[in-house]
Amino acid sequence: MAKKKVVPLAVRSKVREVAKGMRVSGDFFDALDEKIAEIIKEAVKRAKGNGRATLRAYDL
């Protein structure tokens, strides 16, 4: 079964700025986008569980 492609969420140029001096492979960005999507989904669950429609920093 093919792996589901996640919509790009991280700005690649900004990631490279933070990773100063390191080369960043394409699969790193794929994994990073998946991780960001997971974090957002968990924050949505937490906010909904608390009866809110707004994500807040403490949902992370």
Q: What pLDDT is recorded for position 3?
A: 62
What pLDDT shows up at residue 4? Answer: 67
Enter the pTM of the model: 0.81
How confident is the model over 11-17, as a mean pLDDT?
Answer: 94
Q: Sign of dihedral through CA atoms 8, 12, 15, 19?
A: positive
Query: DSSP code of 19?
Result: T
pLDDT at 2 over 60: no
Spatial CB neighbours of 39, under 8 Å, sequence gap ≥ 6: 60
pLDDT tens column, 23-47 = 999 899 999 999 999 999 999 999 9
Find the DSSP H helices in 1-60: 12-18, 26-49
